[in-house]
Amino acid sequence: MATTALNQAIATLQSRGCFSNSGSHRDSLNASVRLISKGFKVEVGLLRGGSYCSRKRSFSLVQASSSQTTVFAAISSPSKSTGTSKDSPKKSNEAALILIRHGESLWNEKNLFTGCVDVPLTKKGVEEAIEAGKRISNIPVDMIYTSALIRAQMTAMLAMTEHRRKKVPIVMHNESEQAKAWSQIFSEETKKQCIPVVTAWQLNERMYGELQGLNKQETADRYGKEQVHEWRRSYDTPPPNGESLEMCAKRAVAYFQEQIEPQLLAGKNVMIAAHGNSLRSIIMYLDKLTSQEVISLELSTGIPMLYISKEGKFIRRGSPPAPSEAGVYAYTKNLAQYRQKLDEMVH
């Protein structure tokens, strides 16, 4: 029965000239065939608009099985009316990318070199993270990436408490099979109200080597201001047994390209909560900055930056000086629509 139905569908297409090799140009035509037999259904759709039927059509199998609800479909993929045989390029998805440098840490407050030492936020840092959350409360967030350090993770979590969508950020534990199994969520409805948080050491602050834990002023007094300035602000000179910005950029940008950029290209809205040097590295990549330009780039703690990923390009949309909603970001149409939906949910 299935074979008979399929043969009938093919015969119909042949009667329309779709399998002709003549290459003759035909008038615009719409044709649809719907054949149903017990346990088998065939749907064939043909749309032609002034192109060569023999070379401008492709058919694909969407579903096939012997179940009662199965659909076997031959779907026509029309080409452009220009007569070119090349497929039209796919449109890239638009997505938001939010970058946030963590709020003030306890060692920031004490003027100590922190680097990869895992230090939490101060009370001011907590307030900065909450304030950052208010500024992005109308921007969609589907995934969150943070460094492996607590100050970046605290910033991400606190910021999301202010988001109007009220989804819950959940840290993913994939470090072992047991950790992964024990952190499973078994409610599909609950999953829909969660945002996965991925922690990655590659997004850590650059490692300051033997400067970690030292007072910045005392270090300048000991080694000289010029030497300390070179360690802190040059692109390729590392502190003793530490990382240079160049070394930090190598790992941070590679991670962004391999793990985060594919999410953005797929249309996922991403927030990254990280550190001054790892974020400067990523911004260097996004804005195509030179090594000389990036060393003068300063990022304030707790101030979010918004980029739009579209058609393989990154467009900076703003770094707001205040949380007043009117002038915070130059909204795209998609972001404006998202905010309107949030407003409708409230009302």
Q: Which residue has the tokens 């922690």?
A: 199
133 annotated ligand binder: no
34 annotated ligand binder: no
177 is catalytic: no
65 annotated ligand binder: no
**For the chain, where are the alpha helices, taking DSSP H only?**
2-15, 106-109, 123-135, 150-160, 177-182, 188-192, 216-223, 225-233, 245-255, 261-265, 276-286, 291-294, 333-346
**What are the structure tokens assigned to 58, written together?**
């492709």
173 is catalytic: no
- State the Cα–Cα distance between residues 343 and 340, nearest whole angstrom: 5
300 annotated ligand binder: no
Task: Given the residues 128, 131, 205, 243, select the one marked as catalytic.
Answer: 205
Task: Given the residues 102, 128, 131, 243, select the one marked as catalytic.
Answer: 102
- Candidates 106, 169, 107, 93; CA nearest to 133 is 169
DSSP assignment string, 135-203 = HTTTS--SEEEE-SSHHHHHHHHHHHTT-TT-PEEEE---SSHHHHHHT----HHHHHTEEEEEE-GGG
50 annotated ligand binder: no
151 annotated ligand binder: yes
Q: Which residue has the tokens 């240079």?
A: 244
72, 6 contact by CB (below 8 A) = yes
233 annotated ligand binder: yes
104 annotated ligand binder: yes
- State the Cα–Cα distance between residues 117 and 208, nearest whole angstrom: 9
218 annotated ligand binder: no
81, 49 contact by CB (below 8 A) = yes
267 annotated ligand binder: no
16 annotated ligand binder: no
Question: Which residues have CB under 8 Å from 294's CB, separation 6+?
Answer: 235, 245, 249, 280, 281, 283, 284
285 annotated ligand binder: no
205 annotated ligand binder: yes
- Candidates 200, 203, 294; CA nearest to 252 is 203
Question: Which residues have CB under 8 Å from 301's CB, separation 6+?
Answer: 101, 102, 103, 104, 108, 125, 128
318 annotated ligand binder: no
46 annotated ligand binder: no
Known binding residues for substrate: 101-108, 114-115, 151, 205-208, 216, 232-233, 276-277
Known binding residues: 101-108, 114-115, 151, 205-208, 216, 232-233, 276-277
Active site residues: 102, 205
